[in-house]
Structure 1
Amino acid sequence: MIFEPGWYDRINGAEYQQLARSTRQFVDAELRDRAQYLDEREEFPEDLYQMMARLGLFGITIPTDMGGVGADVRAYSVVMEELSRGYASVADQCGLLEMVGSLLATHGTRAQQEAYLRPMLRFERKCAYAITEPEAGSDVGAITTTAHRTAKGWRLEGGKIWIHNAPVADFAIVLALTDKEAGKRGMSIFIVDADRPGYGIGPKEFKMGQRASQVGALTFDAIDLPPEALLGEEGRGFQMMMSVLDKGRVGIASLSVGILQAAIEASIEYAKMRHQFGKPISDFQAIQWMIADMAQSLQASRLLVLDAAARLDAGEDATVYCSIAKCYAADAAVRHVSDAVQIHGGIGFIRGIEVERLYRDAKITQIYEGTNQIQRQIIARHLLK
């Protein structure tokens, strides 16, 4: 590690250091050697996720009486960083369960928690988080999926695209309009089982990076839902979804840090091994400066993430700090994983080399959980209001 084990201890306390080490042991023993295979096959590693569930790597911030770990956002950021150092697709599953778990833990009924939250954290049921539509990406308010009241409950119609876990999910958390006239105040969230008539699964998307995470479309063709499918209060869906975004952005920032950590480790190892002009390329100033810049951005990103997480844990309004951390860390990952490919030279452009995969995996961090342009808009509005 470019920053030795123990920095968690100095910043956050021994319990975080132990969490980091135990997660790192899982990553090094079970994940890193499989990452390239999973990327090539675009394979959903259910056995790894079941192992993670047994190790307590899902539901980090979910209360223990609901089946979670009962830790804080700082602990979640530690787990996300360590997992993505191994493979970002696997970290994404942890992040997805944290987001859906937070919604179910905060707004779900006891029956919903027993039916969905606990089995999900044991990885006995797989979830999807369905917001995005063709005309509603950054502009969530533009969704057109609707849910109308019926004599027996609700009828859901519409569709979603680019939904994480859509090809494999047993149920989906779906944002829909229940009052078109009310706009964002007329949105509600529904829990929709994949075996309901009218639930359609589109083809799996073939992505540039993070290829082992399954993404696809969902369609809802007049699905009849019972009243208990509604999650939380009617008309509060937009606010509920937004309430978990800060944690989600800390998660993506942490994932970005993990990708950059893996890239700098690979770059140092290769620079010491590769010889040109009679000496290792690590002796050349051009290489040294790239590695030094990577280290600076890595440490800055990590500290921004920890600051944002600590603010969330303290109950502060941390939205702008989460946006800063996500934007900076994602940009740093994309910029410096490119440097890692450059350090590797021609071999860095070859499939099967770790930094080539990291280069592809990093790009999406600037896009999901709100594009970095949206993050800059949030930051600027906060400063200029």
Structure 2
Amino acid sequence: MYITETHSQVRDMTRQFANEVIRPVAEELDREERFPAEIYSQMAELGLFGISVPEAMGGPGFDTVTYALVMEELSRGYASVADQCGLVELISTLLCRHGTEAQRARHLPDILAAKTRVAYCITEPEAGTDVSGIRTEAVRDGDGWILNGGKIWIHNAPVADLGFVLARTDRAAGHRGMSIFIVDFHAKGVSRGPKEHKMGQRASQVGPVSFDDVRLPAAALLGTEGRGFHMMMSVLDKGRVGIGALAVGITQAGLEAAVDYAQQRRQFGKAISEFQGVQWLIADIAKDVEAARLLVHQAAFKIDSGADATRFCSMAKCFAGDAAVARTADAVQVFGGSGYIRGFEVERLYRDAKICQIYEGTNQIQRMIIARELLAKGAAA
């Protein structure tokens, strides 16, 4: 109900790319945990990075609904690839909203062209869901800053060229004492720990990064000093739409695999698709993927229309993430023992789905946000 002809064209183009380029290598990327730079270069040529960056700033200028459609189709190919698209979307949104003209001119073109690899650096050992616990600190040094601290579980940290780092600039000011800095990851004092070996989405490079007396120029500050927490949080509604769409893509891939296998696999002299128990598994996957998709599209439309979207974004992310875990488990069940074996797509989909309940705010936190919004603003539709 929110889909225009332009939306359909972008979706179809992305689906073709996923089918022809991503899906054939998804199993290999998962097995080898490899960063597929060649795929990201092709995505950049197609305009699939920075989807909502205005044309005047070098982007395609699409809306959030388009972003959701692209994320679903990329994830249907392989979730790790979609995750890279989502990361660039958040970073480019920060730059477009809060960057100076000089910062945008310096960084945006190469980020959108997949020439500069970026990282979104918030999480620390004592600051996961509770961002107020961050200890990474930037202290003024003349016209610039000196950055010290460390981050963990940072997407792209092992391969990044540039990090957007949330650091404390005023210990006494709480959330109002945090700022964002654009940090050259090749600078003196920046070091990276070993790459993490994850349960799923294994081609997404994740690891720790440390800052030891890293000197930053004044131009490294993004936006207003002391507003970093609010700036980071301001892009999370869109981020949750992206993860919701990614989860839908995983579940859709599971549905397609389950339907195909059920029609091919024969037991007791007939296809297992003729057994009611298998039909119910397939029906449950189908109804939840459709419901999740509609929630994601509604949330995206709310953002695009300028409405208060926070509750809808949390609902979409929470429902879609939970559905991805539950329904890829059903897809594995349709496959039986084969679904438990590496090399079968549904086995990977089940592993890839789990993180959708954790990153971009755990689903427990999403439920808290939904309840808080309802109690503060009412439950009227």
TM bracket (short chain): over 0.9
In structure 2, the residue matched to 1:32 is: 23
Alignment pair present for 1:159 and 2:158:
no
Q: How does 1:1-385 map onto structure 2 within 5 Å?
A: 11-385=2-376
Cα displacement string for residues 134-177 of structure 1 (whole angstroms, at most 9, x for unaligned residues)? 01000111101000001141000000000000000001000000
Cα displacement string for residues 195-236 of structure 1 (whole angstroms, at most 9, x for unaligned residues)? 211001111000000000000001000111010000000000
Give 1:56 shift.
0.6
Aligned-partner Cα distance in 2 for 1:288–1:60: 38
In structure 1, the residue matched to 2:379 is: none
Aligned-partner Cα distance in 2 for 1:11–1:98: 21
Cα displacement string for residues 33-61 of structure 1 (whole angstroms, at most 9, x for unaligned residues)? 10000000000000000000000111111
Aligned-partner Cα distance in 1 for 2:346–2:311: 31
Aligned-partner Cα distance in 1 for 2:233–2:170: 18
Aligned-partner Cα distance in 2 for 1:132–1:253: 20
Give 1:321 shift.
0.4
Aligned-partner Cα distance in 1 for 2:2–2:223: 37
Give 1:84 shift.
0.1
Give 1:12 shift.
1.4
Aligned-partner Cα distance in 1 for 2:151–2:37: 24
Aligned-partner Cα distance in 2 for 1:166–1:13: 37
Give 1:356 shift.
0.3
Give 1:93 shift.
0.3
Task: Report percent identity of matched pairs.
Answer: 61
Tell me which amino acid in the other structure corresponds to 2:244.
A
- Tell me the secondary structure at the aligned position of residue 183 of structure 2: strand
Aligned-partner Cα distance in 2 for 1:367–1:133: 15
- Tell me the secondary structure at the aligned position of residue 193 of structure 2: strand
Give 1:379 shift.
0.7
Give 1:383 shift.
1.8
Structure 1 stretches lacking a partner, 5+ long: 1-9
Aligned-partner Cα distance in 1 for 2:83–2:98: 23
- Tell me the secondary structure at the aligned position of residue 124 of structure 1: coil
Structure 2 stretches lacking a partner, 5+ long: 377-381
- Tell me the secondary structure at the aligned position of residue 194 of structure 2: strand
Aligned-partner Cα distance in 2 for 1:114–1:214: 27
Tell me which amino acid in the other structure corresponds to 2:126.
E
Q: Under a length normalisation based on structure 2, what TM-score does the superposition of the two structures give?
A: 0.98
Tell me which amino acid in the other structure corresponds to 2:171.
K
- Tell me the secondary structure at the aligned position of residue 191 of structure 1: strand
Give 1:384 shift.
2.1
Cα displacement string for residues 310-358 of structure 1 (whole angstroms, at most 9, x for unaligned residues)? 0000111100100000000000010000000000000000001000000
Aligned-partner Cα distance in 1 for 2:321–2:307: 23
- Tell me the secondary structure at the aligned position of residue 233 of structure 1: coil
Tell me which amino acid in the other structure corresponds to 1:83.
L
Aligned-partner Cα distance in 2 for 1:182–1:125: 33
Aligned-partner Cα distance in 2 for 1:151–1:76: 41
Give 1:190 shift.
0.1
- Tell me the secondary structure at the aligned position of residue 119 of structure 2: strand
Aligned-partner Cα distance in 1 for 2:150–2:64: 32
Question: How many aligned residue pairs are there?
Answer: 376
Tell me which amino acid in the other structure corresponds to 1:250.
V
RMSD: 0.7
Aligned-partner Cα distance in 2 for 1:338–1:326: 18
Q: Under a length normalisation based on structure 1, what TM-score does the superposition of the two structures give?
A: 0.97
Contact persistence 2:2–2:301 (CA under 8 A): no
